[in-house]
Amino acid sequence: MAAAALTAREIVLVDCPDDVGLIHRITGVLGGHRLNIECNHEFVDTAARHFFFRAEVTPAAGADTPSAARLRDDLAGMLPAAARVRVTRAERRPIVVCATREPHCLGELLLLDAVGDLPGRIVAVVSNHDTLRGLVERFGLPFHHVPHRDGAGHDLARADHEALLAAAIDRHAPEYVVLARYMRVLSEAFVARYPDRIVNIHHSFLPAFAGASPYRQAHDRGVKVIGATAHVVTATLDDGPIIAQDVIHVDHAFTPERMAQAGRDVEKLVLAKAVRLLLEERVFLHGRRTVVFE
């Protein structure tokens, strides 16, 4: 297959064990390909001795443009064997959004997409309920209802439901799967189909509340802040690397219902922030942590 020529802007992502002269080597390769660095970020996690680098590059005027594969190989050749190198086009990447019945996070993403404030594009919405069809179809997007029960109202086996879900997702070939209040627990096998490519939002509280009705618990405990956390989904539920967090202030006058509304307000903002960061390829994962180049 013919290598794709570099055009427009490419994003170069490198992470590897720290070593002497890494930036010098990387910038040497980029310069050798006559690529201009439009912006770049670099970070060394000194505790973990690990190096992270992100650059946006464009070909110099009149330069012959190398293929992405060639550039990646040349970078890898100069870096430690354990290095992960990606070269990827800066473009509006496709995402599939999974939701259940709550519209606030999904709606925020639909709206940002519709008004041009999402650096990507929603290509479909998948849900285990039919509730949100109307909202999605208003935006002219495909909505796939993948019920987790059969026609007789019996729960499908999780593997069977997830196979249907994956099929609905995969026909749109998204780069990221966004769980916008998707309320089914996903199996390890499902998560492994989209490694480091699923993002989730959940409410967060100080202190933490387990179990049902978290906003009622938060109310009964009299908390003064309500938070939300967006994280990459790993096999461990609600415990993947954190991309974004924020809180909103509440007080004693908030009923459980108003606390839940405040929670919806902050959830949608935090999820939207995380999705924007992912779509611009600004998030590195390393163990349980993220490095986020804003």
Q: Does 63 bind a second copy (CB under 8 A)?
A: no
Q: Does 39 bind a second copy (CB under 8 A)?
A: yes
Nearer to a second copy, 117 or 170 (CB): 117
Token look-up 């001795």 returns 49
Nearer to a second copy, 44 or 164 (CB): 44
Nearer to a second copy, 171 or 288 (CB): 288
Catalytic position from the list 19, 160, 170, 238: 238
Q: Does 227 bind a second copy (CB under 8 A)?
A: yes
CA distance 7 to 55: 15
Binding mask 253-272 for a second copy (x = CB under 8 A): x-xx----x--xx---x---
Q: Does 44 bind a second copy (CB under 8 A)?
A: yes
- Residues 67-106 touching a second copy, rule: CB under 8 A, are 103-104
Nearer to a second copy, 151 or 207 (CB): 207
115, 152, 185, 212: which one contacts a second copy (CB under 8 A)? Answer: 115
238 is catalytic: yes
Q: Residue 158: how many CB atoms within 10 A of its CB?
A: 15
Q: Does 241 bind a second copy (CB under 8 A)?
A: yes
Q: Does 33 bind a second copy (CB under 8 A)?
A: no
24, 81, 151, 185: which one contacts a second copy (CB under 8 A)? Answer: 24
Q: Which stretch binds a second copy (CB under 8 A): 6-14, 160-168, 192-200, 202-210?
A: 202-210
Token look-up 């609600």 returns 238
3-state secondary structure the chain: CCCCECCCCEEEEEEEECCCCHHHHHHHHHHHCCEEEEEEEEEEECCCCEEEEEEEEEECCCCCCCEHHHHHHHHHHHCCCCCEEEEEECCCEEEEEEECCCCHHHHHHHHHHHHCCCCEEEEEEEECCCCCHHHHHHCCCCEEECCCECCCCCECCHHHHHHHHHHHHHCCCCCEEEECCCCCCCCHHHHHHCCCCEEEEEEEECCCCCCCCHHHHHHHHCCCEEEEEEEECCCCCCCCCEEEEEEEECCCCCCHHHHHHHHHHHHHHHHHHHHHHHHCCCEEEECCEEEECC
46, 81, 151, 152: which one contacts a second copy (CB under 8 A)? Answer: 46
Tell me the number of residues near a second copy by CB under 8 A. Answer: 72
Q: Does 183 bind a second copy (CB under 8 A)?
A: no
Nearer to a second copy, 244 or 275 (CB): 244
96, 204, 233, 281: which one contacts a second copy (CB under 8 A)? Answer: 204
Q: What is the set of active-site residues?
A: 238
